[in-house]
Structure 1
Amino acid sequence: MTEPVTPTDKTPQGAPATVHDPLAETFPATREGKVLFGIAIAFSTFQLLTAAGLLGLPSQVVRSVHVGFLMLLVFPLLATLRQARPSIRAAAWVLGIIGMGVGLYQFIEYEPLILRAGEPLPIDTVIGVLSLAVLFIATYALMGPALPIICGIFLAYCLWGQYLPSPFNTRGYPFWQVIDHMSFGTEGIYGIPTLVSATYIFLFILFGSFLERAGMIRLFTDVSMGLVGHARGGPAKVAVISSGFMGMISGSGVANVVTVGQFTIPLMKRFGYRAAFAGGVEATASMGGQIMPPVMGAVAFIMAETLGIQYKEVVEAAIIPAILYFASAFWAVHLEAGRTGLMGLPRNQLPSPLNALKERWYLILPLAALVYLLFSGFTPLFAGTIGFAMTALLILGGSVALGLPNYVLRVIFWVFLGLIAGSFFKFGIWIVIAAAAVLVAVNLFVKGGMQTLRDCRDSLAEGAKTALPVGIACAIVGIIVGTMTLTGVANTFGDYIVSIGRSSLILSLILTMITCLILGMGIPTIPNYIITSTIAGPALLALGIPLLVSHMFVFYFGIMADLTPPVALACFAAAPIARESGLKIAMEAIKVAAAGFVIPYMAVYTPALMLQPGGALAASIGFYPAVIYVVFKTALAIALWGIAVIGYFKTHLAWWERILATIASFSLIAAIPISDQIGFALAVLFFGQHLYRARQASQPA
């Protein structure tokens, strides 16, 4: 098979400068780069020791040191990767050391800070100001101005809110109290988002980094190619499936675009898909990784911690919507392939999915163990620790197994290694550490062992680098959460939404959606979710929407914000690979991602779509019949929308057929009396007349 087109690094006209992510580059081979590489490994090691419970540090200390490592690494790393002049690099190191110093100050002064809580010393206030200043600078340097400006507005509201008119005015707070609230304790930058970043998120990022290094991307791609590469529009279907698989372990939409998209976008273009459509498919599928169980991106962990529920409850609520989301994207590329006459690849040029699984079946074991533990009620931290430990043992054992003389001995070796990993439940982390130490020693002497050790070392460093934007975003949005707890301003906005919702729930939902999409202009999904859920979540709950459904509502539209213009971060990340304008890609992504816009609204009116109790439908016909009914109705609405957007089903649609399909789709989505009956009737009318017209057109004259 001809090799796919090599993507260019040039950004097309219309893409913003922020498309280029310096963190996507490797650590430079300079002396400074080696120092940063060592800091990254130390960061990951600290997080692993913390997750395993070997350090025994208080939660507040873990959070402060976590943020300190983020500051120490991000400033000099950005300056080095951007090839800044020496004076800028020196300033970056100073800022990084200050940031780490703040974390160490909270470590050293942990008990005294607790004893004088609410009555800080002048030095505490100075340290607090430094921590906030360094955090704002780091966020600006890494993510641009949008998030620092929004968080700065909330911080200013704490300081000068008493000068605003009613009902937005506050009682006024002294400077030292605001700084103490934001910089110390667990209400500001060291709040729940930072706790989740310092525990679950970092661990799962390392988990994904090790699996990617072990060849998980190749496994997913080979399986996807073997399953659907021969079908109509096969290359685009490969993009949807492989990106969905990758989303299961990475949970990062933009990261999926720049990794999986390097293969899938050129492949789609090579077989006839328009560049904008190819980029839109990859962006849509990659962003869907954040709603794909079991990992679901970092937001799911924050959601579970915020709501005080088990992680598996969040996963269960996301299962049906995730399936529908990827089915929608799959359907869109199938229709586009039919419209343009694009066929799949010859079977003899495709990899065998069975051979791919036979060669790398062991890579699925950590993921399977993770799913089992999460659904068995274990905490994400415990499940992630087990998953990571199994992955590390598999990677370290891979080169050892290859050195064994026959297949039987290899199977025995893997079974024995699996028993050791399973003994973690009885003997604790030390049995895994001992096994890992033995494997490291053996790898020093077997063929390929040194490369395996280098891969593990590089995965530690890459994991720490990948965690930088997530960790920094979690820290700075703590200012917004802290503002809510200090001033209670969320109640004002919530009352406004509730007042609208009493007269029209749909208007409240639209207002919340617009808020999510506007905040998503340059803000990652995590802070977007935290801001909107803090403000709008309680208001939607007051309107009778189940708590988990209301949080999933803002979560979904936080994801969609990365696909909608004018920013559309995932689409602009795909732009240099597709060699197309990011805005054109965004317009195609919106068409493909219909489910992402439809599902949240339908779940509000029929919570059974997210396997949640409540709603008139479940009360009238029962819970499980309601689940079946709403899934069928949603699937039909999405199918009709895809047909209307693409303009093709069995044959090309006439203009009036597209209008009919659109009206039928929206009738099924709307939650008003007899809208479902109208939608089903119009759907029957559309399919009946279209199939008849297609049959007539196919008959010879």
Structure 2
Amino acid sequence: MTNIQQGQAESPAAPELLETGHGEFGTDQMGRILFWIAVAFSAYQIATAAHVLNLPSQVQRAYHVGFLMLLVFPLVVQARDKGRALKALAWALAAAGVAVALYQHIEYKPLLLRAGDPLPLDIVFGVVALVTVFAAAYVLMGPALPIISGAFLAYCLFGEYLPAPLNHRGYDFAQVIDHMAYGTEGIYGIPIYVSATYIFLFILFGSFLERAGMIRLFTDVSLGLVGHARGGAAKVSVISSGLMGTISGSGVANVVTTGQFTIPLMKRFGYRAAFAGGVESTASMGGQIMPPVMGAVAFIMAETLGIEYYEVVKAAIIPALLYFASAFWMVHLEAGKYGLFGLPRSELPSPRAALRRGWYLILPLAVLVYLLFTGYTPLFAGTIGLSLTVLLILGGSVALGLPSQVLRIIFWVGLGVVAASFFRFGIQPILIAAVLLILANVFVDGGRRTLALCRDSLAEGAKTALPVGVACAVVGIIIGTMTLTGVANTFGQFIVSVGETSLFLSLVLTMITCIVLGMGIPTIPNYIITSTIAGPALLELGVPLIVSHMFVFYFGILADLTPPVALACFAAGPIAKESGLKISMEAIKVAAAGFVIPFMAVYTPALMLQDGGPLAEAIGYYPAVAYIVFKTLVAIALWGAAVIGFLRARLAIWERLLAAVAAFTLVAALPITDEIGFALAALFAGVHWYRTRGRAAEPAVERTPE
């Protein structure tokens, strides 16, 4: 067996399967308690999703936040090995968070009856809710998000003293607390509703698939497909991270999972450490716009805009593919520039063998995509996908224990019938089958290991959901401020006033705003903040609704690649053994071509499969789609060549400038700019071909693999 194949046999899948127990929560008594709290959190979420436990929406959201508080504080203190005093404080804050949830449940109906006229005790619990949520966000994610949300909360309380047009009419303390801590406008608004339903379920779905070996499947397939090509190691990173993005809810988590394998592989084959980290960071953040999960933002976007989920996916699919095509193109050029080649096919794993070994892992994902695109709700689709994954994992060890192939086939057919019965009889048949499979696994070889894997997946899913859930809670305060004061109109009017003279300048201003606001903030609150502030302004300038939201979402994600914060890049730093800032500069270079995609979608909505725009009116919808995709590919190719400085050979300075100007004119979409852009592109290609004629593409610098 070759080194690569041996490495794949051992990593990254094997360690995941071996990680059973509560080691990640700590091995002492406190760690064991936190581990089982996490399992209970996941069990509660599954029970509410499957309607085994029916609670009013407000109470369900309150318990979701209560579980978050119960886990966050002790878990952070446990991870940082703090002293007894801080541990006691952590448990006190956790207990306070749970008390708020219980108060919401016990006083549910009275709170509805006295809405807008809170009692002093309501105010006390409201303040406790705000304090615990802010504290949880600070200890889990640092100061950026709490500071931004705190500024909005302060605006509610003191904004009346600001000069016009920033001031508002004024709101007393009780009114602000009532608005933020009760009802569905503040902490318990749409973000936490989506977190308590769709998001947690999909994070759990990804946790089960990852522990079942999905990372190994994606990596093996990627290696087998492109590991032999020029720059194969970096292309493996792009493909595997893109595939992981289909099930992952976090770009940073994607970096630290797939990056553990891809970054050292890229360094081994000659890529600079900073560039290797930049490629992984760029590809992993791109996973946030890759359907079906899209970092769970797709569900919030659909809920916010009041549209079907598949409409969001339809708008995202072409830009996502173009983003990864641009990253693929950039690493191809970098590999050509430095003469970096792949491995012989004989030393790589077979993609067919990988699919034969792990094909069943694709079934839940395929079923999930089918259900989402055929009109079923994300909650229903996520429940089915998760149920099918659990049945496959539990059933796998039972099937292996059967004495003949015929019995195994009968077993799998029967299990498939049970899974399909969900559509007619609901969750009960699946619950019965799951209980029977759990009992069966107790008595078969490897069954207890399988049960441990499922148990650990429940705990790991809850742990992964913590930053997302806490972010959704604290960002609800920003939305609450918008609904209470209408402050978003002030910023929107400024962007609109700029757009009256230049739409392009408005887009640039919005892009900068999204990148600045998105620094250090996870994907979901990032989207919520930027779409709330900047989205309406773009809509007023004539940008289609879903295109305006995708524009701010796109650049909010790219904030994780831009200095000085660059979360994804700093996460890649320890793996690449390089400065996060240097990785960030390389990531911007790799993603440079991708920056053009949202701009082009604004000018030609057909790029996001949306109606409208002069081009579609002039030549028809489908020709417009084909044309804009072709034009975007040309612009990406030109940007890539200009940034890397290589095509068939090293580009001269004037060639790079010519390529950049040609790409810019294709993006601008003003009268005759397309014609100028294509003419300049043809001139660039012709001149470069003529200058390098008679010789094959050659590297500018030779670099020997490590």
TM-score bin, normalised by smaller chain: over 0.9
CA distance in 1, matches of 2:406, 2:333: 47
Q: Which residue is 1:663 aligned to?
A: 661
Listed as ranges, the matches of 1:389-428 within 5 Å are: 389-428=387-426
CA distance, structure 1, for counterparts of residue 406 and residue 289 of structure 2: 40
Residues 639-683 of structure 1: per-residue CA shift (max 9 Å, x gap): 111111112212222222111111111111112111111111111
Pick the aligned partner of 1:529 from 527, 530, 543: 527
CA distance in 1, matches of 2:255, 2:102: 37
Question: Could you say which residue in structure 2 is the equivalent of 1:469?
Answer: 467
**What residue in structure 1 maps to residue 649 of structure 2?**
651
Task: Name the counterpart of 2:621.
Answer: 623
Q: Relative to 1, partners in 2 of residues 1:5 and 1:427: Cα closer, same or farther, differing over 3 Å? A: closer
Asked if structure 1 preserves the Cα contact closer than 8 Å seen for 2:4 and 2:347, the reply is no
Q: Is contact 2:208–2:389 with CA below 8 Å preserved after alignment?
A: yes
Check the 8 A contact 1:258/1:574 in 2, yes or no: yes
Letter in 1 for 2:328: F
SS in 1 for 2:64: helix
Match of 1:93 in 2: 91
Pick one of 562, 567, 570 that aligns with 2:560: 562
Deviations 1:186-236 (A, max 9, x none): 010000000000000000000000000110000111111111111111111
For 1:127, give the aligned amino acid: F
The alpha carbon displacement at 1:595 in A equals 4.1
Cα separation, partners in 2 of 1:699 and 1:280, compared to 1, 3 Å: closer
How many equivalent pairs are there?
Answer: 683
Q: Deviations over 1:129-183 (max 9, x none)?
A: 0100111111111111111111111111111111111111111111101000000
Supply the AA of the counterpart residue of 2:606: A
Paired residue for 2:317? 319
Q: Is contact 2:62-2:101 (8 Å) kept?
A: yes
2:692 to 673, 694, 697: 694
Q: Which amino acid is the alignment partner of residue 420 of structure 1?
A: V
**What per-residue deviation string (whole Å, max 9, x for no partner) do you get for residues 502-529 of structure 1?**
1111111111111111112212221121
Of 301, 304, 308, the residue aligned with 1:303 is 301
Deviations 1:275-305 (A, max 9, x none): 1111111000000111001111121111000
What SS is found at the alignment partner of 2:560? coil
Give the match for residue 17 of structure 2: none
Partner of 1:212: 210
SS of 1:265's equivalent in the other structure is: helix
Aligned residue among 318, 334, 340 for 1:336: 334
Offset at residue 433 of structure 1 (A)? 0.3
Q: What is the CA–CA distance in structure 1 between the aligned matches of 2:412 and 2:273, rounded to whole Å?
A: 44
Structure 2 match to 1:439? 437
Match in the other structure for 2:454? 456
Unmatched runs of 5 consecutive residues or more in structure 1: 7-23
Does the Cα contact within 8 Å between 1:5 and 1:266 map onto a contact in 2? no
Q: Secondary structure at 2:264's aligned position in 1?
A: helix
**2:248 and 2:133 mapped to 1: Cα distance?**
25
Q: Which amino acid aligns with 2:187?
A: I
Mean CA deviation greater in 272-281 or 340-349: 340-349
Q: Check whether the contact 1:4–1:267 (CA below 8 A) recurs between aligned residues.
A: no
Alignment partner, residue 219 of structure 2 = 221
Partner of 2:351: 353
Look up the SS of the partner of 2:669 in the other structure.
coil
1:543-582 to structure 2, matched below 5 A, reads 543-582=541-580
Query: Corresponding residue for 2:703?
Result: none
8 Å CA contact 2:42–2:462 kept in 1: the answer is: yes
TM (norm. structure 2) is 0.95
Q: Aligned to 2:124, which of 126, 129, 141? A: 126
Query: Which SS does the other structure have where 1:207 is aligned?
Result: helix
- What CA distance in whole angstroms lies between the structure 1 residues aligned with 2:3 and 2:592? 33
**Amino acid of the structure 2 residue aligned with 1:371:** V
- Cα shift readout 1:448-506 (whole Å, capped 9, x = no counterpart): 00000000000000000000000000000111100111111111111111111111111
Measure the CA separation in 1 of the matches of 2:335 and 2:402: 47
State the distance in 2 between where 1:596 and 1:46 align: 40
Counterpart contact for 2:282–2:327, Cα < 8 Å: yes
Contact (CA 8 Å) 2:4, 2:348: kept in 1 or not?
no
Indicate the residue corresponding to 2:28 in structure 1.
Answer: 30
Shift of 1:341: 1.1
Is the CA contact 1:556–1:596 (under 8 Å) kept in the aligned structure 2?
no
Match for residue 63 of structure 1 among 39, 51, 61: 61
Quick one: distance in 2 between partners of 1:279 and 1:453? 36
**Structure 1: which amino acid aligns with 2:530?**
T
Q: 1:683 aligns with which of 674, 681, 684?
A: 681
Q: 1:295 to 1:336 in 2, by over 3 A?
A: same
Aligned residue in 1 for 2:291: 293
Offset of residue 411 of structure 1 = 3.3
Unaligned residue ranges in structure 2 (runs of 5+) = 8-21, 699-706
Identical aligned residues as a percent:
73
Work out which of the residue numbers 178, 182, 185 in structure 1 matches 2:183. Answer: 185
- Contact 1:335/1:643, CA 8 A, preserved across alignment: yes
CA deviations 1:591-637 (Å, max 9, x no partner) are 11134311111111100000011111111111111110000000110
Correspondence for 1:137? 135
Distance between the aligned counterparts of 1:185 and 1:312, measured in 2? 29
The amino acid across from 1:331 in the alignment is W
Higher mean displacement: 518-527 or 629-638: 518-527
C-alpha distance in structure 1 between counterparts of 2:485 and 2:443, whole Å: 62
Instruction: Look up the SS of the partner of 1:567 in the other structure.
Output: coil
The residue number in structure 2 matching 1:636 is 634
Separation in structure 2 between the aligned mates of residue 251 and residue 258 of structure 1, nearest angstrom: 13
Q: 1:481 — aligned with what? A: 479
Determine the C-alpha separation between the residues in 1 that align with 2:694 and 2:213.
Answer: 50
SS of corresponding position for 1:503: coil
Check the 8 A contact 2:371/2:381 in 1, yes or no.
Answer: yes
Q: Provide the rounded CA distance (Å) in 1 between the counterparts of 2:413 and 2:514.
A: 48
| Alignment CA distance shift 1:525-1:132 (3 Å) | same
Give the letter aligned to residue 151 of structure 2. Answer: I
TM-score, L = length of structure 1: 0.96
Distance in 2, matches of 1:699 and 1:166, equals 62
Segment drifting more, 282-291 vs 653-662: 653-662
The answer (yes or no) to whether the contact 2:496–2:537 under 8 Å persists in 1 is yes
1:284 corresponds to:
282
CA distance in 2, matches of 1:232, 1:403: 44
Instruction: Give how far 1:415 is off.
Output: 2.5
* 1:412/1:353 CA distance change after superposition, 3 Å: farther
Amino acid in structure 2 at the alignment position of 1:594: A
Q: Check conservation: 2:274, 2:579, Cα contact below 8 A.
A: yes
Q: What is the identity, as a one-letter code, of the residue corresponding to 2:265? A: L
RMSD of aligned alpha carbons:
1.6
Contact 2:327 2:590 in 1 (8 A): yes
Q: How does 1:222-241 map to 2 (within 5 A)?
A: 222-241=220-239
Residue type at the aligned position of 1:58: P
Contact 2:278 2:586 (8 Å CA) reproduced = yes
Change (3 A) 1:547 1:68: same
